[in-house]
Homo-oligomer: A and B are copies of this chain.
């Protein structure tokens, strides 16, 4: 077991860090660090600036095949995530870069790849993910929005919600029921669509801290050309589950959290109460050290997952779930610790009264971006228990009812 990066890797990692450091110098004054900064309206010019710079350097095509301008490896994606996290930089559309592009590369035909990959790699097209619905959150397979084939088109009706960044996105990809009679994982198709198409209405949903990240999206007879399907009709569930190349190390969040802790250490060193720096309080020392340990544990785990996944895309699946739960909990607790250490200032929002630009108050509210999104901690624990530890799935009353009905029908 060897944690040493090769010289080449060290060099690449340094490039990413230096590139990100340069960009970070252009951060607007009122930019509040946080992994949710990607969606803040006031940040949009800077976000575009970052995205264009990343595109120029080829960093939005990391690990892609050469024919689509791909450069670098899976580890480069990890280094890039680490660097962006450390400088808390926005500018990577995770829906296009991390989710759709790998899906297209794995499941799309040449035509759709040629059509959509360049916009993603050049940072020209922003995407959103049309998955969740009001009654399909953790249970995604319960989607009810429909896409009914009519001639060369699908006609879409229904509602999506918690649609991150829909207000900025040019295009969307999502899951729609192509046969309304179908249940659960069957009869779902994976479609791409222009978010400016007639019939699409986007309503903002304010997040706790007022950030505009989520939206509700309504579809009223939206026409989508039939060739904007990925995979076969009714096979969309499988397409959505095929994100094998998804980078699962969470290194970006880990790195961002590490940086935030560094700023907290600075605060404790600089801030005196009763003439003594906060940093000298043994209680604070203990708690900050504890947090530093957990972040370091996340970091080493992230590298383990990255390395294993680099060797085998299907490796370390349950470790990834563990890593996600863990960093989510850390994010919640770091927000709590930071605001506690700030005392009365821990409640102050960004303003001239705020300390550390209000980052802790903002983080305290944004705390749930990791524990709830993309599979809640509770869902991750189910995955670990049922698949990682092979514990039996509890029975669902519905499955039981079905079994009973089957037994009775057999009469």
Residues of B within 8 A of A6 (CB): none
Residue of B with least CB distance to A409: B407
Residue of B with least CB distance to A397: B395
Q: A8 near B: Cβ within 8 Å?
A: no
The one of B283, B396, B400, B411 in contact with A403, judged by C-beta atoms closer than 8 angstroms, is B400
Q: A344 near B: Cβ within 8 Å?
A: no
Residue of B with least CB distance to A403: B404
Q: A408 near B: Cβ within 8 Å?
A: yes
Q: A314 near B: Cβ within 8 Å?
A: no
Q: A286 near B: Cβ within 8 Å?
A: yes
Chain A 121-160 near chain B by CB (<8 Å), digits 1 or 0 = 0000000000000000000000000000000000000000
Q: A282 near B: Cβ within 8 Å?
A: yes
Q: A394 near B: Cβ within 8 Å?
A: yes
The one of B283, B394, B410 in contact with A394, judged by C-beta atoms closer than 8 angstroms, is B394
Q: A26 near B: Cβ within 8 Å?
A: no
Residues of B within 8 A of A407 (CB): 404, 407-408
Which residues 252-281 of A sit at the B interface, judged by CB distance below 8 A?
281
A286, B287: Cα distance in complex, Å? 12
A396, B282: Cα distance in complex, Å? 50
The answer to whether B400 touches A395, judged by C-beta atoms less than 8 angstroms apart, is: yes
Which residues 226-254 of A sit at the B interface, judged by CB distance below 8 A?
none
A109, B121: Cα distance in complex, Å? 87
The one of B286, B396, B404, B410 in contact with A283, judged by C-beta atoms closer than 8 angstroms, is B286
A403, B403: Cα distance in complex, Å? 10
A153, B34: Cα distance in complex, Å? 76
Chain A 370-411 near chain B by CB (<8 Å), digits 1 or 0 = 000000000000000000000000111100100110011011
Residues of B within 8 A of A397 (CB): 395
A404, B404: Cα distance in complex, Å? 6
A400, B399: Cα distance in complex, Å? 10
Residues of B within 8 A of A396 (CB): 395
Chain A 178-202 near chain B by CB (<8 Å), digits 1 or 0 = 0000000000000000000000000
The one of B282, B395, B403, B411 in contact with A282, judged by C-beta atoms closer than 8 angstroms, is B282
Residues of B within 8 A of A404 (CB): 403-404, 407
A151 nearest CB across to chain B (Å): 47
A260, B395: Cα distance in complex, Å? 45
Residue of B with least CB distance to A284: B282
Which residues 279-311 of A sit at the B interface, judged by CB distance below 8 A?
281-283, 286
The one of B282, B394, B400, B411 in contact with A281, judged by C-beta atoms closer than 8 angstroms, is B282
A286 nearest CB across to chain B (Å): 5
A254, B285: Cα distance in complex, Å? 32
A395, B394: Cα distance in complex, Å? 8
Residues of B within 8 A of A400 (CB): 395, 400, 403
A27, B367: Cα distance in complex, Å? 53
Chain A 196-215 near chain B by CB (<8 Å), digits 1 or 0 = 00000000000000000000
Residue of B with least CB distance to A392: B397
A117, B283: Cα distance in complex, Å? 55
A287 nearest CB across to chain B (Å): 9
A318, B408: Cα distance in complex, Å? 40
Residues of B within 8 A of A411 (CB): 410-411
A403, B286: Cα distance in complex, Å? 55
A79 nearest CB across to chain B (Å): 38
Chain A 17-48 near chain B by CB (<8 Å), digits 1 or 0 = 00000000000000000000000000000000
- 13 CB < 8 A contacts A-B: A281-B282, A282-B282, A282-B283, A394-B394, A395-B395, A395-B396, A395-B397, A395-B400, A400-B403, A404-B404, A408-B410, A410-B411, A411-B411
Beyond contacts A394-B394, A394-B395, A407-B408: 13 other A-B pairs, Cβ-Cβ < 8 A, are A281-B282, A282-B283, A283-B286, A395-B395, A395-B400, A400-B400, A400-B403, A403-B404, A404-B407, A407-B407, A408-B410, A410-B411, A411-B411
